[in-house]
Amino acid sequence: MTIEKDKVVTMDFRLQLGDQAGEVLEDTANDKPVTFLFGSGYLIDTLEESLNGLKAGEEFSVQYKDGEAFGTYDEEKIMEMPKEFIRDNEGNEREELLKENTLLPLADEEGNEHQAFIRKVDEKNVTLDFNHPLAGKDVYFSGTVKEVRNATSEELEKGDVQ
């Protein structure tokens, strides 16, 4: 069976910064394989395109240059805002969450979840970077497709695999 939309795929992968000799950022082979519904948005589009048509047992490796994988770095995605705008779900200010060089989970008024990298914190403001942490970077993906199967009707309805 080949990987295509609405198939459930299980795979190991390694993500490296730069190329195949670069720093390993994530490696699922030592942990556990990832299982997902292909075509549901779980993977970045460029990796999904590279996996389309592969079969269980096949290996893959793909190099992405200049932000092809996670987008280009956009200075307009850096925002400075007053610290009091950062609140928890109950509306309380949470200054202890505002530590430079950490990721901050956020939600907008519609409940959409986002992550921002905290670049700077001063007495009144926080500078947030909404670019993906790997935006503009060269990355290398490699791995092995472990299993490809048909999705159940429940998985297709949910758009996710248990």
List the domains of the chain with CATH numbers. Answer: 7-70+134-158 (3.10.50.40), 75-129 (2.40.10)
Helix (H, G, I), strand (E, B) or coil at 160: coil
pLDDT, average across residues 28-46: 89
pLDDT, average across residues 92-120: 83
Q: Kindly report, residue by residue over 118-139, the tens digit of the pLDDT.
A: 999 999 999 999 999 899 999 9
pLDDT, average across residues 4-13: 96
Determine contact, residues 10/147, Cβ cutoff 8 Å.
Answer: yes
Query: Residue 62: which pLDDT band, with cuts at 50, 70 and 90?
Result: very high
What's the whole-model pTM score? 0.79
pLDDT at 131: 94
CA distance 65 to 58: 23
Whether 30 has a pLDDT exceeding 80, the answer reads no
Whether 145 has a pLDDT exceeding 90, the answer reads yes
